[in-house]
């Protein structure tokens, strides 16, 4: 597959998550709620999780923002569902490395997340892509 086809595929995956977000909503009795925003772009996210015995049993997000931030949130919720909290935080670190153009290792369990790799070429958009991941880290840091 050539670079242009791969780019188009990634664009399609991003737009699919934006138009058909996975795990959008709120967990009413969630064990953790984190709100964050990106004032530069106007993105806002609320992440709710239900964590039992260190396992993320449910995760949902709601918010408003650009296609990058909302698709990243959708992809992240799919990736961390039913994962141990420490594994979800490892995924967040790998995603951050990918966004910073550093060496990273994306595993199959992380789903579509690698489709956002091209965002690393646009420094102004990195905060959009990492917003939900930073909310996840903040939630576990404060719990």
- Contact predicate 88/95, CB 8 Å: no
Q: With b meaning 16 or more CB within 10 Å and e meaning fewer, what string describes 10-44?
A: beebbeebbeebbbeeebeebebebebbbeebebb
- Position 3 pLDDT exceeds 70: no
Confidence (pLDDT) at 2: 60
Q: What is the pLDDT of residues 46-72, one digit of tens each?
A: 999 999 999 999 999 999 999 999 999
- Position 31 pLDDT exceeds 80: yes
- Position 117 pLDDT exceeds 70: yes
Burial bucket for residue 118 (CB in 10 Å: 0-12, 13-18, 19+): middle
Confidence (pLDDT) at 8: 82
Domain boundaries, the chain: 3-142
Strands 43-52, 55-64: pairing kind: antiparallel
Name the fold adopted by 3-142. Sufe protein. Chain: A (3.90.1010)
Confidence (pLDDT) at 5: 72
pTM for this prediction: 0.94
- Position 1 pLDDT exceeds 60: no
**Rounded-to-integer distance, Cα 8 and Cα 13, Å:** 9
What percentage of residues in the chain have a pLDDT greater than 70? 97
């Amino acid at each position: 597959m050539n670079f242009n086809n791969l780019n188009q595929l990634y664009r399609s995956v991003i737009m699919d998550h934006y138009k058909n977000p996975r795990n959008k909503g709120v967990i009413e009795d969630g064990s953790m709620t984190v709100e964050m925003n990106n004032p530069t772009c106007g993105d806002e996210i609320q992440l709710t999780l239900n964590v039992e015995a260190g396992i993320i049993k449910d995760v949902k997000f709601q918010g408003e923002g650009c296609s990058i931030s909302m698709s990243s949130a959708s992809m992240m919720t799919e990736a961390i569902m039913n994962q141990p909290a420490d594994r979800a935080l490892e995924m967040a670190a790998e995603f951050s490395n990918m966004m910073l153009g550093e060496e990273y290792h994306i595993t199959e369990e992380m789903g579509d997340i690698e489709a956002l790799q091209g965002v690393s070429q646009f420094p102004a958009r990195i905060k959009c892509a990492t917003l939900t991941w930073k909310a996840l880290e903040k939630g576990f840091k404060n719990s």
